[in-house]
Amino acid sequence: MLLEACVFSTILLGFWGMLFKQNLLMKTIAMDVMSTGVVAYYVLAGGRKGLFTPIFQPGRAVDYADPVPQAVILTAIVIGLSIQALMLVAVMKLSRDYPTLEVRDMETKNMP
């Protein structure tokens, strides 16, 4: 129960950072924190007692873990890493055009 509360607080902390931080680099880091919390939640939900790795051994009659959720989580980690890299490239391009990474300063410079 305590571990689940920590994971949910990590997700909420990342969500809070994405909403209320004004620096684009901090928003990118907050998105990564939220993504890490979601992956940790799925790992926590998928880790049950009594499940063994899905390697078949003759004569062993046990409950095997389903490898499909593990593959989905690995895919989510890779996609999250690529999205974070793409966001960091976008932040680098914006920092070349504007001398700041603050969202409000960029918005005021683009007002008509």
Q: What percent of the chain has pLDDT over 70?
A: 97
Give ∠ CA 30-34-40 in degrees, rounded to 5: 140
Residue type, 14: G
Please state the rounded mean pLDDT for residues 100-104: 88
- pLDDT tens column, 5-30: 999 999 999 999 999 999 999 999 99
Q: Which of 108, 79, 89 is nearest to 24 (CA)?
A: 89
Domain that includes residue 32, residue range? 2-48+64-105
CATH of the domain at 23: 1.10.287.3510
- Return the amino acid letter for 47: G
Q: Which pTM does this prediction carry?
A: 0.79
In a domain, 57, yes or no: no
Lowest average pLDDT, out of 42-46, 54-58, 106-110, goes to 54-58
- State phi, psi for 84 to the nearest 5 degrees: -65, -40
